[in-house]
A and B are shown apart, each in its own frame.
Chain A
Amino acid sequence: MASEIFERDRHVTFLQMMYQLLPSPYQSQEINRLTLAYFVISGLDLLAAPDRLVDKEAVAKWVLSLQAHPRSQSELNNGQFYGFYGSRSAQFPSEDNDNGALLSRSVGNLASTYCAVAILKIIGYDLSSIDSESILTSMRNLQQSDGSFMPIHTGAETDLRFIYCAVAICHMLGNWSGMDKEKAKAYIINCQSYDGGFGLTPGSESHGGATYCSVTSLRLMGFIEEDILSKDAESSIINVPLLLDWCLQAADGGFQGRPNKPSDTCYAFWIGSVLKVLGGHKFIDKKALHGFLLTCQSEYGGFSKFPGDFPDLYHSYYGFTAFSLLEEPGLKPLCVELGMSAIAAIGI
């Protein structure tokens, strides 16, 4: 028996339970605990949950305990990334008889760093008091010659997701010394597919999540204007009309991540956000989207990927952001580019 309204209180309870304890199936995502925390904390913020539910001091302390710290200036330039660890299982504290090699076992992660800085921003922590110099200086080591970013210094896939993380981090810290923007821009442009959407790497199939990462990154870096559709869309560095058409065609009630695939809750955020950035969200059939999302709403609180599945934290969070985009009463407005409430993004 699907509800016909957005069940805000149930969702707050769902997140509250997650904040207290994540059920054991989440142990397989343990390495990304900071990301899970981001979903919970940003989710509670967007749902305008009571302040008392989140112990801001405890959160700040825990997040900061996951920050990597170089012990010297020379260590800062040894190729490691001194951002934030995704969880304790990437963090190996040095010991008394440490010979320096032990510290290199710790692995800071760009996506976790984005989540960490975002959480701090959401809870109102003063970002000027964290060691952003180390983050930004060592972040440069993660950028590849083609402009893309690797998430960790020990080796991993490189694609658009991590350009987004780098861009968002620099934007939140108010300092672009962490990356070469022009190179990143060039890589992003190469990711626009023949059909107007963006793939995760040049040549890859266009995909809702990749399209989000590319468009918001270009916007945050200042390479595309706000609300470009009401200005000169034809002269943009990317093919805007084709992109717009691709995004809107993805709507079939909900949004598909790729053509001819079923609609999935999270793409309401990924593609809805792109449309917002372009100034095309007024073209979304809000009633149809609202209806689809409600079929993915769980009676236990949270949202699932597809109608009828069990809810998970990821799809729940993006369900909440989608309802914020739909201007659901009681929810805070969203800053789509940074993935948090607009108030948190401004930093009042």
Chain B
Amino acid sequence: MTEREMGSDEEQQWVPFKNRPEWSDVIPVEQDDGPNPVVPIAYKEQFTETMNYFRAVFKADERSPRALQLTTEAIGLNSGNYTIWHYRRLILETLEADLQNELDFTDQIAQINSKNYQLWHHRRWVAEILGANATSAELEFTKKILLGDAKNYHAWSHRQWVLKELGGWENELDYCWELLEEDVFNNSAWNQRFFVITRSPLLGGLTAMRESEVSYTLKAIVAHPENESSWRYLRGLYKNDNWSWANDPQIASVCLKVLSANNDCIFALSTLLDLIRHGFQASKELRDAVDAIRNSNLVEAESDLTKTICSLLEKLDPIRVNYWKWRKSILCEGAK
């Protein structure tokens, strides 16, 4: 959780504030930790001095270029300090600074640590001011971050905010498609896909998009039946519509396909269980496919297909054996 600190090269190049002529008029303000501070930190000299000068200008509410530069250095040392970021924004407002430079600044900070909440909030603040003009820059920036870490939670949050507030939906579904081509296991990309199909003003909403999305997802499932993300997405396409879920033959069909391919697929079995629970009637083919797996795993048949599936899952998914046992037990209680 500790971020990468400034390298030792940078430390050696650092000039103490007390040696900088342009700061000679400022009296640094030391931290008053009190008599018995708890969890004191072994601050390095650079940190202490920078923060002492920060305290001095902050108390004086100085809004100058040198104060701005000071916040740059202070943020470099503790980028989570929201007091410093807030002060920076006050200075930028007073100086009527060119906020394009801020976009570059956040980019630099992101190189050091792209998982910092204050950085992203600052970026959002800039984008709000720049408005729709910032849309493509923000989408490009998040794309760049995601290139380094396709699951960066902050980047995704920011991207969703940009889309909702500033727009730019046109290519988002394509972007999801690209990311999933690179890594079909990227759950963030699946989530973004759901976000787009449900919220994009350019598409028709979940129900309208369902058919094409099911088709897409089924292909992904068949290619990698062990991928939790695709199964969850498929289920999500039928959110609040259990009747359609249980009555869409494509769902049962993909379960059959996966089970018949001799992939002892846990997700296919649990999906089948879920379908039956919602009223689906299993075909003979499906029952036979389950039986084949049951036989090859030496699992006894039960009176009921759902119970058999639970028994199979106890065997095939041992880390969750107690869960499957419990699922079987509640089947008895009238819930089908």
Contact = CB atoms under 8 A, between A and B. Distances in A.
Q: Do A and B bind each other?
A: yes
B1 A248 contact: no
A77 interface: no
B43 A24 contact: yes
B77 A27 contact: yes
A263 to B, nearest CB: 12
A312 B151 CA distance: 22
B80 interface: yes
Nearest to A35: B39
A31 B153 contact: no
Interface centre among A30, A55, A93 (most CB of B within 10 A): A30
Contacts of B192: 205
A61 B37 CA distance: 9
Contacts of B125: 155
A46 interface: no
A63 B34 CA distance: 11
Interface string A132-158: 000000000000000000001011110
Interface stretch (A4-12, A195-203, A217-225): A195-203
B239 interface: yes
A207 interface: yes
B72 interface: no
Given A62-B34, A258-B151, A22 B40 contact: yes
A201 B117 CA distance: 14
B188 A258 contact: yes
B236 interface: yes
Given A155-B125, A259-B232, A22 B39 contact: yes
Contacts of A90: 81-83
Interface stretch (B244-252, B283-291, B317-325): B317-325
A26 B51 contact: no
Nearest to B42: A24
Contacts of B41: 21-22, 24, 26-27, 30, 33
Interface in A260-275: 260-261
B36 A204 contact: no
B328 interface: no
A101 B59 CA distance: 10
B82 A22 contact: no
Contacts of A62: 34, 36-38
B326 A30 contact: no
Contacts, number: 193
A337 B121 CA distance: 28
Contacts of B38: 19, 37, 41, 58-59, 62-63
A201 B157 contact: yes
Interface string B142-160: 0000000001010011001
A92 interface: yes
A69 interface: no
Nearest to B236: A194
A107 interface: yes
B228 interface: yes
B31 A107 contact: no
B229 interface: yes
A8 to B, nearest CB: 21
B58 interface: yes
Contacts of A205: 153, 156, 187-188, 191-192
Interface in A182-217: 193-196, 199-201, 203-207
Nearest to B160: A203
B187 A32 contact: no
A121 B228 CA distance: 41
B216 interface: no
Contacts of B199: 203
A36 B39 contact: yes
Contacts of A245: 270
Contact of A89 (B39, B83, B322, B323): B83
A204 to B, nearest CB: 6
Given A156-B117, A205-B187, A260 B77 contact: no
Contacts of A24: 41-44, 47
Given A27-B77, A152-B82, A89 B31 contact: yes
A88 B82 contact: no
Given A18-B39, A282-B322, 4 more contacts: A22-B39, A29-B1, A31-B81, A88-B33
11 contacts: A20-B40, A29-B80, A31-B78, A62-B36, A89-B51, A105-B83, A193-B191, A194-B233, A194-B236, A195-B235, A313-B1
Interface of A: 18-33, 36-37, 40-41, 55, 58-59, 61-63, 65, 88-90, 92-93, 101-102, 105, 107, 109, 152, 154-157, 193-196, 199-201, 203-207, 242, 244-246, 248-249, 251-253, 258-261, 280, 282-283, 285, 288, 305, 312-315
